[in-house]
Structure 1
Amino acid sequence: MSSSPLKPGQTAGRSGQYEIVGPRGGSTGQERTVTRGEPLPPTPKPGQGYVLVDPTRNGAGRGK
């Protein structure tokens, strides 16, 4: 991984699918869809975090 996982409650820097990872970075197989600027939701267990795995590519806000 290139950076440390984001914590629940932190603001999402990009819209997309965020995977829930364990305290040591292991995959849980669960993902949440989060919109840029919104806080990340609570995780099922303490110590877990989020990693962006699939950013949204919709071109919103780019003008023509």
Structure 2
Amino acid sequence: MGILYESVMQQKRNILIRRLAELNISRAQSGKSIDECDYEELKYELVLASFRDIDSEATENTWF
């Protein structure tokens, strides 16, 4: 693919890696380092980490 596409995808990966590092995530569910994961794996890991971070006991986070 084009150089611009590869550059943008690398920047997007770096953003996800930085956000996961802020949440103290260094390994994916598969056991790989987050530095070795592709963009889709990093998105998945960030979603899982954000679900773990939600405080389910707070009243504003209840389902109904």
Give the TM-score taking structure 1 as reference length.
0.23
Larger CA Rg, structure 1 vs 2: 2
Q: Which is strand-richer, 1 or 2? A: 1
RCO comparison, higher one (Cα < 8 Å, 6+): 1
Give the TM-score taking structure 2 as reference length.
0.23
Q: Which is helix-richer, 1 or 2? A: 2
